[in-house]
A = this chain, B = another copy of it.
Amino acid sequence: MDKPKKSVRRKTSGVTIDEVAALAGVSPMTVSRAVNQGNVREETRERVMRAVRKLGYTPNVAASSLAAAQHTRIALIYANPSGAYLSELLVGLLRVASNAPVQLTIDYWENMDAEAERKAARSLASRVDGVILPPPLCESAAAVGELVKARIPVVAIASGRQGDGISCVRIDDFHAGKEMAEHLIQHGHTRIGFICGRDDLSASARRYDGFVTALHEAGLEVDPELVQRGNYTYRSGLGAAELLLAHGNPPTAIFASNDDMGAAAISVAHRRGLDVPRDLTVVGFDDTSAATTVWPELTTIHQPIAAMADAAIDILLRTIRNRNDEARPLTDHVLPHRLVERDSVARPPRGR
């Protein structure tokens, strides 16, 4: 059974490509090609794959990245541990990374000023080949600028301005915002309150623009008093909703530009004795866990975060391998969003 190996070194437990090759009666190279979608005759591939299945072969990622000299270090930097969002992103990233010659690392940049960000970015640049930047960091001129200067490819998730020299993976926030506003209008709402996100995030501005456009197209005015500033936190949503509902002529619907603030609006409504959605309609954005840990659950916009993670790594890998070509095209990848209807929307109360 145990054929004596020439090597003195200890072996890993797993099945190797050579064993598969032997069983399939081909060379290891052919197995490699068959497994990695290379050019192999269909018949040969069949035979190889049968051997693969029989032996339960899984490629050793370490070996393949080493051999391909394609070992790529990609860092995900996050600044606000917005739970659900990050978790989905990570899951998506990990799913890709564990099947690709990619070493994923994560860094947490907490409360850094511009100078600290610049320093952190410089240090990062020497350690990684590519960076994934979710909001809000992807809009930090300091962080992005330094990374770009170091010629490290950067992909911004869900936000970011392409003009900064980085690629973006995002949804169409403008149309998503417009669609959500239209959803509200279709339900008969005409006085709609809006809770903004952080005004330094471009996605936030795009959502607002979509909202405004929908209202205008429906022949509705945007009452400036019905637009309140938030910063994406639950707490900020509380204040904004409070102002909206204390208005002499309050809105019949509130469009919060993320779920946390939407959840906050529901809480404020309840404390004011309003039933949601009977007395007040509330919608959120992002479809994070905050949308479902409230009652009623929030109607919201779903972002395909896992797919965005996929796309981000793909873009990074492509860019990195193109290193020699001086022209590194910047990508702006827009993925489809989806309006998720739940229980927080109804027609406005009668008489309004």
Chain A residues within 8 Å of B, Cβ to Cβ: 9-13, 56, 58, 60-63, 65-66, 69-71, 73, 81-84, 86-88, 90-91, 94-95, 98-99, 101, 103-106, 108, 126-127, 129, 234-235, 238, 260, 263-264, 267, 270-271, 273, 288-290, 292-295, 323
Residue of B with least CB distance to A89: B87
Contact A293 B56 (CB under 8 A): no
Q: Which of B58, B61, B87, B234 contacts A87 (CB 8 A)?
A: B87
Residue of B with least CB distance to A129: B13
Q: Which of B63, B69, B105 contacts A94 (CB 8 A)?
A: B105
In the A-B complex, list the 5 residue pairs whose CB atoms are closest, starting with the nearest: A87-B87, A83-B84, A83-B289, A98-B105, A56-B126
Residue of B with least CB distance to A288: B83
Contact A94 B83 (CB under 8 A): no
Contact B81 A87 (CB under 8 A): yes
Q: A103 vs B90: C-alpha distance in the bound complex, in angstroms?
A: 15
- State the main secondary structure of chain A at its contact with B: mixed
Q: Which of B86, B127, B273 contacts A273 (CB 8 A)?
A: B273
> From residue A257, how far is it (CB to closest CB) to chain B in Å?
15
> From residue A60, how far is it (CB to closest CB) to chain B in Å?
6
Contact B263 A293 (CB under 8 A): yes
Please give, as numbers and ranges, the residues of chain B lying within 8 Å of A108 by CB-CB distance.
91
30 contacts between A and B (CB under 8 A): A10-B69, A13-B129, A58-B73, A58-B127, A60-B66, A61-B62, A61-B71, A61-B103, A62-B65, A66-B66, A81-B91, A83-B87, A83-B288, A83-B289, A86-B91, A90-B91, A91-B106, A91-B108, A94-B106, A95-B105, A95-B106, A98-B104, A99-B105, A234-B295, A235-B295, A260-B293, A267-B267, A267-B270, A267-B294, A293-B293
Q: A94 vs B290: C-alpha distance in the bound complex, in angstroms?
A: 24
Q: A38 vs B235: C-alpha distance in the bound complex, in angstroms?
A: 50
> From residue A271, how far is it (CB to closest CB) to chain B in Å?
5
Q: A294 vs B81: C-alpha distance in the bound complex, in angstroms?
A: 16
> From residue A163, how far is it (CB to closest CB) to chain B in Å?
27
Please give, as numbers and ranges, the residues of chain B lying within 8 Å of A62 by CB-CB distance.
61-63, 65-66, 71, 101, 103
> From residue A343, how far is it (CB to closest CB) to chain B in Å?
11
Please give, as numbers and ranges, the residues of chain B lying within 8 Å of A56 by CB-CB distance.
126-127
Q: A99 vs B103: C-alpha distance in the bound complex, in angstroms?
A: 10
Q: A190 vs B81: C-alpha distance in the bound complex, in angstroms?
A: 37
Q: A11 vs B70: C-alpha distance in the bound complex, in angstroms?
A: 9
Q: A56 vs B81: C-alpha distance in the bound complex, in angstroms?
A: 29
> From residue A10, how far is it (CB to closest CB) to chain B in Å?
6
Please give, as numbers and ranges, the residues of chain B lying within 8 Å of A129 by CB-CB distance.
13
Q: A273 vs B9: C-alpha distance in the bound complex, in angstroms?
A: 71
Contact A69 B11 (CB under 8 A): yes
Q: A294 vs B108: C-alpha distance in the bound complex, in angstroms?
A: 25
Please give, as numbers and ranges, the residues of chain B lying within 8 Å of A127 by CB-CB distance.
56, 58
Contact B103 A94 (CB under 8 A): no
Q: A263 vs B88: C-alpha distance in the bound complex, in angstroms?
A: 22
Q: A234 vs B273: C-alpha distance in the bound complex, in angstroms?
A: 21
Please give, as numbers and ranges, the residues of chain B lying within 8 Å of A73 by CB-CB distance.
58
> From residue A209, how far is it (CB to closest CB) to chain B in Å?
27
Contact B234 A69 (CB under 8 A): no
Q: A221 vs B86: C-alpha distance in the bound complex, in angstroms?
A: 43
